[in-house]
Amino acid sequence: MNLAAINLINIGLMLLAAAIAFVVPFETFLFAYAVLGPLHYLTQISWLHERQYFARGKRDWVFLAGLTVAITVLNLIAMERGAGMHWGMLGVDLMVWSLFWSLLLVVTEDKTLRTVGGVIFAVVLFFLHGKGPADSNQMLYVVGGVFLPTLIHVFVFTGAFIVYGAARNRSLTAWLSVLVFLGCGAAALLAQPGTLGYSATDYARQSYSVLQNMHSTLLQYTPLLGGTGRPLQYEEFFTDETSLRLGRLLGFAYTYHYLNWFSKTSVIRWHKVPRRRLLGVVVVWAVSVALYAWDFALGLRWLLLLSLAHVVLEFPLDWKTLLAIPRDLGVGRKTSPSV
């Protein structure tokens, strides 16, 4: 399959994901997160492992993996204790530090530069460290703890990959996919068609409660969404127009984030791994989906490590992509764009 065909397929997937998210936003998000998400985590981590996680050193990923385990443990403590926000904030600090540490893994192999840079990042985070969303340093919590593993990962970084592909291939269909992707996101944020007759299912109302804090924070700080002007009761998440707009954005962004990965199998070739590993992926995925169907909160805890690992271990690739976009846009080809 050529790149033009893949681009057109992805444009169709964008429009399909957006259309479904507009009609049943929370169910779309939950389905994508519980069914497509685990398979994406497993196959992407396997794919990254085969490519040394796009870091310069062969063993660079080991430290990132250790950071992921620490972040997961801190988040689980915060979730179980309820009031353990201090532990959650330590997890946020490590998440943000991992992001900047990954930049060093991409740009240099010099141990001295890495050490100095890591210490500087740590000192900066020490002074920015807060106690949670009510603290004066709440933006660290908001950006690093909520936006980074959610909308920044599934929308901003996904958009960067699409732009990178367009800048590299210089095809009209690739640039069209960029415009459609941004258009779908803008429509979710800005369009106000009302509820469209939407009524959340009992499963959605019950399952989404574990994500209540995430939704509330995103609702308050997402640009162009405008907020609601007051805290919403949980039941209002499914009826308030502004909350529904956020639900549509999440439904679209997460669904397409996963579909984009699977639609480019022939290009990414994530399935080219040992059969035994692929069988293990299928087994773990099936167990994970069953757990989500049984109890969404249990499934979320079960897969928290994999979910965070696929975010953190992707950081070097994210940086390589972001750094490559200006270069590819500047170099360009002298020939006419392809289709």
Give, in order, the Cα–Cα distances in Å from 329 to each of 165, 166, 204, 258, 333: 11, 9, 43, 26, 9
What is the separation, in whole angstroms, between the first and last Cα of the chain? 14
pLDDT of res. 81: 56
- Name the DSSP class of 66: H
- Name the DSSP class of 56: S
CB 133 within 8 A of CB 121: no
CB 294 within 8 A of CB 77: no
Residue-wise pLDDT tens digits, 42-75: 999 999 998 999 999 888 999 999 999 999 998 8
Give, in order, the Cα–Cα distances in Å from 299 to each of 272, 283, 302: 27, 15, 5
262 vs 39: CA distance, rounded Å: 9
pLDDT of res. 76: 85
pLDDT of res. 70: 94
Strand partners, 171: 338
Q: What are phi and psi of 316, to 5 degrees?
A: -60, -40
In the block, residue with structure tokens 């919590």: 141
pLDDT of res. 227: 64
295 vs 290: CA distance, rounded Å: 9
Alpha helices in the chain (DSSP H): 3-23, 25-31, 37-50, 60-81, 85-107, 111-128, 138-140, 157-169, 172-190, 202-207, 212-221, 241-263, 265-268, 275-294, 296-302, 304-312, 315-331
Q: Is the pTM of this model over 0.95?
A: no
Residue-wise pLDDT tens digits, 164-219: 999 988 889 999 999 999 999 999 999 988 888 899 999 999 999 999 989 998 99
Burial class of residue 144 (count of CB atoms within 10 Å of its CB; 0-12, 13-18, 19+): buried
86 vs 213: CA distance, rounded Å: 15
In this structure, what token pair is assigned to residue 282? Answer: 């299928």
pLDDT by residue, tens only, the chain of 339 residues: 788 899 999 999 999 999 999 999 999 999 999 999 999 999 999 999 989 999 998 889 999 999 999 999 988 887 775 545 677 788 899 999 999 999 999 999 999 999 999 999 999 888 877 544 455 457 788 899 899 999 999 999 999 999 999 998 888 999 999 999 999 999 999 998 888 889 999 999 999 999 998 999 899 888 777 666 678 899 999 999 999 999 999 999 999 999 999 998 878 888 888 888 889 999 999 999 999 999 998 999 888 999 999 999 999 999 999 999 998 887 544 444 444
Residue 186: other Cβ atoms inside 10 A: 12
Measured torsion, CA atoms of residues 51, 68, 17, 28, in degrees rounded to the nearest 10: 150
pLDDT of res. 331: 55
76 vs 87: CA distance, rounded Å: 9
Give, in order, the Cα–Cα distances in Å from 31 to each of 37, 80, 258, 265: 9, 24, 11, 21
CA-based Rg of the chain, rounded to a whole angstrom?
20
